[in-house]
Amino acid sequence: MASTMLRQWLMLSMIPIAPRKTTAATLLDELQDRGWELDVRTVQRDLQQLSTVLPLVCDDRSRPYGWSWQSDVVRPWRQRR
């Protein structure tokens, strides 16, 4: 459980604020670079789960889907760019 929460917290810090977006595959690459051993389906499930309780947006107009924070969100752990 703790490792799942840590992975998801790290993943949340990698998601940009709209209009920028990232993909599950890009998040997977970044997580694997940090030593996490998982597959793209796990990242996709995490994103789906997190989007039910957090202001995450999925752009599903084309594949691969793009993920971002809603444009008006404030994330205290990361500065806006």
pLDDT of residue 25: 98
Q: Which amino acid is at 67?
A: W
Residue 15: the pLDDT is 97
What are the boundaries of each domain within the chain? 2-69
pLDDT (tens place) for every residue of the chain, 81 residues total: 579 999 999 999 999 999 999 999 999 999 999 999 999 999 999 999 999 999 999 999 999 999 999 998 876 555 554
Per-residue pLDDT, 2: 74
Structural fold of domain 2-69 = Arc Repressor Mutant, subunit A (1.10.10)
Claim: this prediction has a pTM higher than 0.75: yes
- Candidates 61, 17, 38, 78; CA nearest to 46 is 38
Phi, psi dihedrals of residue 56, rounded to the nearest 5°: -95, 145
Tell me, what's the pLDDT at 73?
A: 80
Element (H, E) at 29: helix 24-33
Two structure tokens written together for 49: 């789960």
